[in-house]
Amino acid sequence: MKTGTRRLRGNETLRRMVRETRVSGDSLVYPLFIREGSGIEEELPSLPGQARYSPDTVAKGIDTALNAGARSFLLFGIPETKDERGSGACDDDGVIQQALRNIKRAFGDAAYLITDVCLCEYTTHGHCGLIRGGAVDNDATLPLLSRTAVSHARSGADMVAPSAMMDGTVAAVRAALDAEGFKGIPIMSYAAKYASAFYGPFREAAGSAPRFGDRKTYQMDYHNGKEALKRIEIDIGEGADIVIVKPALPCLDIIHTASQRIKLPIAGYSVSGEYAMIKAAAARGFIDEYNTMCESAVAVFRAGADILITYFAKELAGAIRKGDIG
């Protein structure tokens, strides 16, 4: 045989021996939607296979995921009422705060809880920050995000994930957490978050689409790559412990470059649209859901991600347990 790499592919044991990318259920984060109210467990039409829970039923969703082998969760809250300032986000009795207390009571440290810190689900206008004079006011938003992060920590969050893309968020949140005695709570920052059409099904699920305009003044332009690296460096300088690149598959280049340059863990967020595309194409028989899911997930790790946030966390944990990937 001529020189090549075929000889390393001739046998399953050998193929596994020489795998360059190793995947573990420990590296998966499962996003969950929690709606204010009680007794809720409803399937999300825009995200088939995903449910929306209320604070009193969410333990069920966590339990199923833990049994499947996913141990970390990213929690999104959907309040009953919204207002201009998104006050529900930092309410100690808000939907996420209630859910955190309930989940911690039921599972203790068996479930690792990360909270999304943003205003868009809580504001009537659907923007991620305060609106002043028709535009998002970056600096006026920071105290609200900080208060929200502190309130989450007080209610039991293990980690906070600010996602509003306001400049200076990580520094503000870090200072607030430290001042309130939460020095040990890490920040997973949405450092490189593009203004992406792939968030569509999420906004449908969370009721968080902007009522006017778009998010292009604070989320990034997908024509830019160096800017993502700059934002990542800024967030690390401000004290981020983990950085998120989002969406994942359209940003494998960013994940790859960042993984070579920075010395902190990188999380790829495989967003709602990535999940929905696989689901929809599979439902029509165009692609095989299981294998497409496995390949897409491994690609994010191969690019250099240490963590994958994905709506397929349960199924992927199962695939890892079965030995199909990993």
Q: What are phi and psi of 54, to 5 degrees?
A: -110, 170
Contact status: 118 vs ligand PBG (CB under 6 A):
yes
Alpha helices in 156-225 (DSSP H): 169-179, 200-206
Asked whether the beta carbons of 264 and 192 are under 8 A apart, the reply is: no
Tokens, residue 199 = 């968030």
Stretch that binds ligand PBG, among 98-106, 143-151, 195-203, 227-235 (CB under 6 A): 195-203
Q: Rounded to an integer, what distance in angstroms lies between the CA atom of residue 234 and that of residue 239?
A: 9
Contact status: 160 vs ligand PBG (CB under 6 A):
no
Residue numbers 121-150 binding ligand PBG by CB under 6 A: 128
**Upper half-sphere CA count for residue 218 (Cβ side, 13 Å):** 25
Task: State the nearest-atom distance from the C-beta of 11 to ligand PBG, in Å.
Answer: 39
Residue numbers 44-83 binding ligand PBG by CB under 6 A: none
Q: Rounded to an integer, what distance in angstroms lies between the CA atom of residue 261 and that of residue 134?
A: 38
Tokens, residue 272 = 């709602």
Q: Is 322 a catalytic residue?
A: no
Residue numbers 233-292 binding ligand PBG by CB under 6 A: 271-272
Task: State the nearest-atom distance from the C-beta of 31 to ligand PBG, in Å.
Answer: 6
Asked if the peptide bond before residue 247 counts as cis, ω within 30 degrees of 0, the response is yes
Asked if the peptide bond before residue 79 counts as cis, ω within 30 degrees of 0, the response is no
Query: Which one of the listed residues 246, 279, 314, 322 is annotated catalytic?
Result: 246
Contact status: 312 vs ligand PBG (CB under 6 A):
no
Q: Is 246 a catalytic residue?
A: yes
Task: State the nearest-atom distance from the C-beta of 245 to ligand PBG, in Å.
Answer: 13
Task: State the nearest-atom distance from the C-beta of 325 to ligand PBG, in Å.
Answer: 21
Pick the closer one to ligand PBG by CB: 103 or 120: 120
Q: Rounded to an integer, what distance in angstroms lies between the CA atom of residue 56 and that of residue 21?
A: 39
Contact status: 116 vs ligand PBG (CB under 6 A):
yes
Residues lying near ligand PBG in the complex (CB under 6 A):
116, 118, 120, 128, 163, 199, 202-203, 215, 271-272
